[in-house]
Structure 1
Amino acid sequence: MAPMQRHTYTGPLALRAMQDLATRVFPATGYRHIGDLAWNWCLALDRADGHPTAIWTDEDQTLAWGWLELPDTLMLQVDPSHSQLTDEVLDWAEQTAPGTLHVEIAETEQHLAVTLERRGYKRAPDGPFMTVMRRPLTHLPDLPPLPDGYLIRAQQDPTDTAGRAAAHRAAFGSTRITTERHARMRSMWPYRPELDLIVISPAGDAVAYCQGWYDETNRIGEFEPVGTHPEHRRLGLARAVCTAVLHAFADAGGDHATVYCRGDAAYPVPKQLYESIGFTSHTRTHTYTTRT
């Protein structure tokens, strides 16, 4: 039998290995959906030197991984049945990114919390945090009516792809999603175009969207990301397009849907949106920091 191995990379180059573990662990933790990893991987591609990655494998099975966003942020996942590897992931991260390190985990990942606390990491006082929300894909709400002239559909051509990227930039005030980056993401597994829906305005522009990712093994869909152009808010567009993606998940054979959003009172609107279409909180995140 081959010994357990650690593979290190200068950037996020082992996405499928990471998704292998995420698929196995998701039913227990409800955190780190394969679509969430794909989305974050796409954002990191052009900054590979700032995202060193390490993967621990036993033969063809991934048992743990660590993914740094330099200078000070660590994302990790460890198979609960191999929780001793948490120390190895943290050793690698602390050696690769010396100094203060911030690690975000879910409450359902107690095997990680135990090791972090044993090593002297301190849980940050409550500030901004993410809540993980879920809902079954049964008894779905009907698609709400759209304002006159608006319609929901999948992206059909390069103009739609560019419009979808532009809508994201406007919604989040960010330049990270370029047309090229979004087009590249559309070629990544497990992307499915029928789950990435846009709202078209009367002028023919993409002005809102909900991108869905589907984990066929666990039959769970995830929203990541969702947004509305500031000039088209308060029209019910996000609620409508999210509802449409829920129906698309059900049509794909899904059992549940999940979404991560801010759970603190400083940023309540997304959580209120998801609650309005039947999502309830499943778990939340906490951030642990090395002692300074």
Structure 2
Amino acid sequence: MSITFRKYTTEPLFTEDYIKVRNFLIRINLKELTNPHFTWARWEWMTTHGGLDRTAISQIGLWEENGEIVGLVIFDCSLGEGFLCVDEKHNTLKEEMIVYASKNLAKDGKFHADIGDSDREFQRIATKNGFRPTQNRGVIAAIDIDDNISYSLPQGYSIVSMAEGWDFHKYHECMWRSFNHEGEPPQTEGDINCRIEMLSSPTIIPELVLAVTSPDGKYVVHCGMWYRPGDDYAYVEPVATVPEYRMMTISLLNSNQVSKYKLTNN
């Protein structure tokens, strides 16, 4: 079958194209995590993110063979920076992909392509097409976890998961303050609906959406985790802590829940 190109749908959220991109990102990372900077989990988070430029999603480029995606050019929430993911069987697409990205995903005439340090071929192709290496890079921290987990919370603090009940007003306030916005968070219906949508992915595992509550009942830490049963990794996004609660043990507790869930579902 020949490879065909098309653009992503103009429709946001959980479309057929959304499923195709997700399946593609899972498939290319099955044997090993070859593209850690843009996994299926990051795609899930981005799809519902309040900062996603939905007017630009139709600029995402898709290369398909027999209806299955084999190449993906995608931006990171907004134009100007993005990722180029390709099935290793179709590396000949790389030049076409970098050219497309530079013309269609640029902002103010500039596009920053996130290309792995080990992909020398892609680096050479990018250089040939006018790109230059920089010191700017995404960093992924990998933390090994096992079943030897124990922790204690300060008196009056507790952990709540989305599976047990979730207060989106408290979640909104936690996110607002954790990302250093000034003043009180707006509490309009639109603001709360945006937060609800951010946690609406059909693949979300409610037990892995966590918050730490303070003695006065507020959410002061939030940690979202993305896990696909059968994988040997989980993706943590976001980690958000209200400023006055930073540098406390409670800011580190949520990562333990990933191991608990993973180990009981093997």
- TM-score tier by shorter-chain length is 0.7 to 0.9
Q: Which residue of 2 aligns with 1:238?
A: 251
User: 2 CA distance for matches of 1:191 and 1:244?
Assistant: 14
Gaps of 5+ in 2: none
User: 2 CA distance for matches of 1:196 and 1:33?
Assistant: 18
Contact 1:143-1:240 within 8 A present in 2 as well? no
- SS for the counterpart of 2:234 is strand
User: Would you say 1:5 and 2:4 are equivalent positions?
Assistant: yes
- CA displacement, residues 143-162 of structure 1 (integer Å, 9 cap, x when unaligned): 3211110011202445x223
User: 2 CA distance for matches of 1:88 and 1:204?
Assistant: 53
User: 1 CA distance for matches of 2:25 and 2:214?
Assistant: 37
User: 1 CA distance for matches of 2:45 and 2:120?
Assistant: 25
Q: Which residue of 2 aligns with 1:49?
A: 55
Q: Which of 88, 101, 104 is residue 96 of structure 1 equivalent to? A: 104
**Aligned Cα RMSD in Å?**
2.7
Amino acid at match of 2:19: R
User: 1 CA distance for matches of 2:142 and 2:232?
Assistant: 13
Q: Which residue of 1 aligns with 2:132?
A: 122
Q: Which residue of 2 aligns with 1:248?
A: 261
- CA displacement, residues 4-58 of structure 1 (integer Å, 9 cap, x when unaligned): 2222134766322222221122224151221111112222676311342121111
| Alpha-carbon offset, residue 111 of structure 1 | 4.5
User: 2 CA distance for matches of 1:59 and 1:143?
Assistant: 49
Higher strand share: 1
Normalised to the residue count of structure 1, the TM-score between the two structures is 0.74
Contact 1:11-1:53 within 8 A present in 2 as well? no
| Alpha-carbon offset, residue 62 of structure 1 | 1.3
Q: Equivalent residues in 2 for 1:180-219 (5 A)?
A: 180-219=193-232
- SS for the counterpart of 1:50 is helix
Contact 1:166-1:179 within 8 A present in 2 as well? no
- SS for the counterpart of 1:20 is helix
Aligned in 2, Cα 1:46/1:148: closer, same or farther, shift over 3 Å?
same
Q: Which residue of 2 aligns with 1:148?
A: 155
Gaps of 5+ in 1: 254-292
- CA displacement, residues 115-150 of structure 1 (integer Å, 9 cap, x when unaligned): 2133231111x25x332222444354x232111100
User: 2 CA distance for matches of 1:222 and 1:97?
Assistant: 26
Q: How many residues align?
A: 248
Aligned in 2, Cα 1:229/1:70: closer, same or farther, shift over 3 Å?
closer
Contact 2:208-2:226 within 8 A present in 1 as well? yes
- SS for the counterpart of 1:204 is coil
| Alpha-carbon offset, residue 235 of structure 1 | 2.2
Q: Which residue of 2 aligns with 1:289?
A: none
By relative contact order (CA 8 Å, sep 6+), the higher-ranking structure is: 1
Amino acid at match of 1:18: V
User: 1 CA distance for matches of 2:56 and 2:212?
Assistant: 34
Q: Which of 89, 92, 97 is residue 84 of structure 1 equivalent to? A: 92
Q: Which of 82, 86, 96 is residue 74 of structure 1 equivalent to? A: 82
Please list every run of at least 4 consecutive aligned residues from structure 1 whose deviation after the TM superposition is greater than 6 angstroms: none
- Give aligned-pair identity as a percent: 19
Q: Which of 18, 21, 24 is residue 24 of structure 2 equivalent to? A: 21
| Alpha-carbon offset, residue 178 of structure 1 | 4.2
Normalised to the residue count of structure 2, the TM-score between the two structures is 0.81
User: Would you say 1:225 and 2:231 are equivalent positions?
Assistant: no
User: Would you say 1:168 and 2:167 are equivalent positions?
Assistant: no
Contact 2:147-2:259 within 8 A present in 1 as well? no
- SS for the counterpart of 1:216 is coil
User: 2 CA distance for matches of 1:179 and 1:5?
Assistant: 40
Contact 1:195-1:249 within 8 A present in 2 as well? no
User: 1 CA distance for matches of 2:199 and 2:96?
Assistant: 34
